[in-house]
Structure 1
Amino acid sequence: MTRVFKIVTVFLAAQFMALAALAQDGYSIKPGDVVRVEVLEDSSLNRESLVLPDGRITVPLAGTVMVGGRTVDQVRSDVTSRLSSNFASDPTVTVSLIQLGEAPKSTGTYSSDIEVYFMGEINTPGMASVEKGTTLLQAIAIAGGFSRFAATKRVQLRRTDSSGVQKVYAFNYEDVLAGRTSIGGTVLAKGDVIVVPARKLFE
């Protein structure tokens, strides 16, 4: 058991070091990556965000921030500037790369499917095998859309990272249709779970 623990620890440490190296080498953040923003002066602003297909994330008090195609240092500088008016002096902001997104879909003749899961008020719940590169919105269509009892304002994309920690990304499906968010274009990863809660009585 101890040996297994050591192996897992070494693996996780190696992954963290690889991410840190990418950041130091000027890695450009891409859609599907997960970044963490921390503000020393106000921990309530700390959060991890999935970079949406349009390259943006949302940071409290700073609004929508373009991070795609930029380094963590560039994002940190931008967020610091946006938050500065809310503090007596420039806040201490840290931006880190937590998880890399899925690699781009291969253009070769061979492709493999991934397994994703649907739960709740979806017309075809359960496991579905979808082609790599399938987006969240396409997957909902593949599952036949929502049932008439679906709480479409509270749909969730649940993704487990390589360390076993699950992240929940909630969104309003009406915002997707209206173009107010681009999360519907998020490319699904193996094991993703799409959860559609039931509507409440007066919802």
Structure 2
Amino acid sequence: MRSEVAPANAELPVVDASMAALGQPDYRIGPYDLLSVTVFQIKDLDREVRVDNSGRISLPLIGTVQAAGKSTHELQDEIATRYARSYLQNPQVTLFVKEFASQRVTLNGAVKKSGMFPMSATRISLLQAVSLGEGLTETANPRNVAVVRNVNGQNMVARFDLLAIRDGQMADPVIVGNDVIYIDEAKGALYFKRFTQMAPILSTWILYSNR
């Protein structure tokens, strides 16, 4: 396996062109996203609804609406149009994505709660991602944190030092959906090595190391 050494201020690679667009106004709603729908001055119509696995939501009076694949503005306009069609005059509908459940990050290793977590935004920082696991365990080694990202079918690993990030000595990298984060144990270098070898990793960036 060939390794490439990048400077300490290097960034994780962008997954693809569509991922680069995430977080912009044209974000497309996906299955399991949690949406907040507000109709101005009509509290009975306000709802938090989760997009089902077929990409639909259900709202009072207007029933089922296809949500997945639409931008928030497109869906907001469609809901307003359907309410105006039969029930309301000039409804003012506000919609935002409260939970980007279609974008998930996986936490493993020395965190208090490991697993797959929905992201509260299409992009979060590494420190924010670690907080989803309720923080580090007492045996964690914050200087040895790996982020695995799949780029065009190729798994890539970057290594970070959380203490350096917290002290402002290193930028807090952006984490995107489907990233896998592993926090090493203080005495678990062997497990860290095994983790980075779980998949056929073709390139490795050592972004920061200060053990």
TM value normalised by structure 2 = 0.46
Q: Which has the higher helix share?
A: 1
- Which protein shows a greater Rg? 2
TM-score (norm 1): 0.47
1 or 2, which has the higher strand percentage?
A: 2
